Amino acid sequence: MRRLAQTKRSLQALIFALLAQASNQAMCDEGIAEHVDRAAREPIGIEAGYVYTQGKYSSTVESKSTVKNLTLSWTAFDMDFQFTTLYLERTAPAGTIIARVKKVITVTPRIVSSSGAGDLSLSVNKEIFTDPATAIAVNAVGEMKIATADSAKGLGTGKNDYTVGLTASYPFETAVVSGGAKYSVLGDPGKIKVNGIVEDIRFNNIWSGYFAFTTELTSRSNATFSFNMAQPSGTATNYYQVLELATSYRFSEAASVRIFTSKGTNQNSPDWSAGLVLSGNF
């Protein structure tokens, strides 16, 4: 069980970090929460990831994006901190913002390709309850998306987002069941020009949540099945719903890799996405 916990801790990618704020999978990115012995954690970690996503999102044409991310994490004051930076490449209808795809297109639009630095994100995670008898754990999480991406290129909204929430986990001998819920206050871009097109973009604050089941395959590997869901961030859009299947392999106590693929279940979700994350601790 300790091996499973250590592997999962090193593979947490952006709560809302790798996928959430990283691409047009805006709200998927819930990290899998679980109880981990803090004394066994390494204080500093680094993750490098790559994600490819495509989907029509109720449009007549597909939007495509690739995301390269670098995440630094450290443990101090009995809390876990993460800092994530992104580089985005996207091809989408002109006027579309990559982080919140919401446009309904009825005619063939002008397609635009752009690339550049994405938004930065900061997060903090603190265990607030644990039951020694069952190892059930509850964590409080806080996140901030700093709007550093160029909204004129459609790489971000140009506004900061703020998120708070709770996650919980229940470990078995060789498996972990976890879930969580978060509330996000989304910055409202208003009237902005995106790829030369003036848009009046209004966002609602949203609730999001996830459920995940992780099981140990071998002493060095595990698999995770998860379901992520979020309220619509705008009018005339559906809930965001994504199923994800992931597997991870631990090369050593300090290094691991995670490979995943996901599938949206409605029009406001990506058709599919895939990626990998390399992690190290020291």
Alpha helices in the chain (DSSP H): 2-10
Q: Residue range 233-259: average pLDDT?
A: 91
pLDDT digit string (tens) for 33-92?
333 444 445 689 999 999 999 988 777 788 999 999 999 999 999 999 999 999 999 998
How far apart CA 184 and CA 280 sit, in angstroms, is 29
How far apart CA 126 and CA 136 sit, in angstroms, is 14
Burial 33-71 (b: 16+ CB within 10 A, else e): bbbbeeeebbeebebebebebbbebbbeeebbbbbbbeb
How far apart CA 145 and CA 160 sit, in angstroms, is 5
With a CB cutoff of 8 Å and minimum separation 6, the contacts of 19 are: 13, 25, 28, 29, 51, 262, 273
With a CB cutoff of 8 Å and minimum separation 6, the contacts of 282 are: 42, 44, 45, 254
pTM of the model: 0.84
Mean pLDDT rounded to a whole number for the chain = 84
Query: Looking at per-residue confidence, does 55 or 123 come out higher?
Result: 123
